[in-house]
Amino acid sequence: MTFTAVPPTVPPALPDAVEPKRPRGRPRKTEDERDDGNRRHALLTAAAKLFRRQGFDATSTRDIAAAVGMHSGSPFYHFKSKDALLYAVMEEGMHTAIARQSAALVPIESTPMAPLANMRRLIRSHFDTLHGPGNDFVPVMLYEHRSLSARQRTLLAKLQVDYEAAWTPVLEALHASGHLRAPVKLSRLLMLGALNWSVQWFDRKKGASLDELTDACMALFLKES
């Protein structure tokens, strides 16, 4: 709006030859915005941030459009519906989280200490997914699950199973070695719950660090041997 040099109501465009220097359409603002992929991703990032802060229902598609400098109808050029945008946010979050988790794990045969070390890495990686800078995607998934359609929920559930599958062998090893006394399945649910809930109270700018949090989890959940 601020860049508009012409009055709001313009006459029909003149024949082509008149203004050869100026390409038609809105001028591109930066390199980043040149291709569709980046604009689509800008919408995803802005949506994740707003969904996390205000909630899905309390965020209008107009809010999201404004956050990336688009007009109200334009997000629907990139996403079929507001629901599809929400699902895309969650899917991106899960893909990133699964990749981060895989990278954090150490092969289990390498050393007898591996289960304890891997437990710590799983916890720390999970905290990064929840509290790392700009990591709004998974927190949105955790708290806006209810707004998905049944089909979307089924698709996401598969990704969540993949994610949690990495925990089971580690927990089983710790159970076998006596570090973990509670049943493996309930342990996984309770531990992930404890971590996920930190979204409600953790503040990167004060209190414990993510490393201290991870230490506390290890001390809380695991026995000495």
Partner DNA sequence: CCTACCGATCGGTAGG
Residues that bind its own copies (CB under 8 A): 54-55, 57-58, 143, 145-147, 180-183, 186-187, 189-198, 200-201, 208, 212-213, 216-217, 219-221, 223-224
Give the span between the Cα atoms of 178 and 109, in whole angstroms: 18
* Smallest separation, CB 136 to DNA (Å): 18
User: Using the rule CB under 7 A, which residue among 45, 74, 152, 177 binds DNA?
Assistant: 74
CB distance 163 to 178 below 8 Å: no
At its nearest, how many Å lie between its own copies and the CB of residue 165? 16
Region binding DNA by CB under 7 A among candidate stretches 36-44, 139-147, 175-183, 211-219: 36-44
Query: Could you tell which of DNA, its own copies, none binds residue 192, using a CB distance below 5 to 8 A set by kind?
Result: its own copies
Nearest distance from residue 103's CB to its own copies, in Å? 25
Q: Does 32 bind DNA (CB under 7 A)?
A: no
| Cα separation values, 107 from 37, 98, 101, 166, 175, Å | 35, 16, 12, 11, 18
Minimum distance from residue 139 beta carbon to its own copies (Å): 12
In terms of CB distance, is 40 or 145 closer to its own copies? 145
147 binding partner (options its own copies, DNA, none; Cβ < 5 to 8 Å by kind): its own copies
* Interatomic CA distance for residues 129 and 94, integer angstroms: 9
128 binds, among its own copies, DNA, none (CB under 5 to 8 A by kind): none
By CB under 7 A, is residue 46 in contact with DNA? no
From 21, 22, 24, 80, residue interacting with DNA (rule: CB under 7 A): 80
In whole angstroms, how close is the CB of 214 to its own copies at the nearest point? 11
